[in-house]
Amino acid sequence: MAEQKPEDELRIGVYICHCGSNIAGVIDPAEVAEWATHLPGVVRATDTLYACADSGQTLIKEDIKKYNLNRVVVSACSVRMHETTFRAAVAEAGLNPFLMEMANIREQCTWAHGHDKEGALKKAKDLTASAIAKARFLNPLTMIKVPVTKRAMVIGGGVAGISAALDLADQGIETILVEKEPTIGGVMAQLNKTFPTMDCSI
């Protein structure tokens, strides 16, 4: 894995995703990429049709080697959706996966501001600039493994507690269900019949 470089040696690659028309239908990703080339530390900035696709990931991996990048910024969709995708890609290229930062210019920008293209473009630039600024201070991290005891305690033997305990048990996790009352079932156990089937609630 690549080691952290001093501030004056930062080489940041920036990738602006079209996400089909999800982003490109509102803003011009190429304009954001060109604008990003003038930000401190950026040595490579480009737009790509689908950054998460094999072609987009390959581009990032090739650029890491070609431009000797030590930070990567991807302006695309949500972190929840593709952070692991891009971290895996940069790791395959030999860069520490925690030296990659994402900016969400889809859900937080083009989807939210599709009615205001000029404002969406400005926000996309701001979000990208924020991610680049953050990338300047990223440190390489090492994943660690810690021992975990596969045992869980569920407090409350109502319907939610029973359901949670059963789900945990189905995953092979030893589960202890704790209930302060002498019987389980919670409020459900106090009902005679349940709608719409009118079955016994217990």
Whether the per-residue pLDDT at 57 is higher than 80: the answer is: yes
Mean pLDDT of 60-72: 97
**CB atoms inside a 10 Å sphere around CB 106:** 20
Long-range contact set of residues 52-55: C-beta below 8 Å, sequence gap at least 24: 52/17, 52/76, 52/77, 52/82, 52/85, 52/86
The domain ranges of the chain are: 7-135, 151-200
Q: pLDDT per residue over 142-160, tens digit each? A: 989 999 899 999 999 988 9
Higher pLDDT among residues 26 and 158, named by residue: 26
Whether the per-residue pLDDT at 6 is higher than 90: the answer is: no
Q: What percent of the chain has pLDDT over 90?
A: 81
User: Would you say 138 and 96 are in contact if contact means Cβ atoms under 8 Å apart?
Assistant: no
**How far is Cα 126 from Cα 133, in angstroms, rounded to an integer?**
10
**Alpha helices (H) along the chain:** 21-24, 29-36, 54-66, 79-92, 117-135, 159-170
Whether the per-residue pLDDT at 3 is higher than 70: the answer is: no
**How far is Cα 72 from Cα 53, in angstroms, rounded to an integer?**
16
3 state SS of 176:
strand
CA dihedral for 121, 18, 25, 108, sign (positive or negative): negative
Mean pLDDT of 12-39: 98
Q: How many CA atoms lie within 13 A of 92 on its CB side?
A: 14
In this structure, the dihedral spanned by the alpha carbons of residues 34, 104, 17 and 45, taken in order and rounded to 10 degrees, is 30
User: Would you say 56 and 49 are in contact if contact means Cβ atoms under 8 Å apart?
Assistant: yes
Mean pLDDT of 74-101: 97
CATH of domain 7-135: 3.40.50
* Amino acid 5: pLDDT: 46
Of the candidates 89, 88, 87, the one whose C-alpha atom is nearest the C-alpha of residue 99 is: 87
Mean pLDDT of 7-18: 89
Mean pLDDT of 171-183: 92
Whether the per-residue pLDDT at 1 is higher than 60: the answer is: no
* Amino acid 197: pLDDT: 76
Q: What is the mean pLDDT of the chain?
A: 92
Higher pLDDT among residues 133 and 184, named by residue: 133
**How far is Cα 78 from Cα 165, in angstroms, rounded to an integer?**
32
Mean pLDDT of 137-142: 94
* Amino acid 2: pLDDT: 46
Whether the per-residue pLDDT at 102 is higher than 90: the answer is: yes
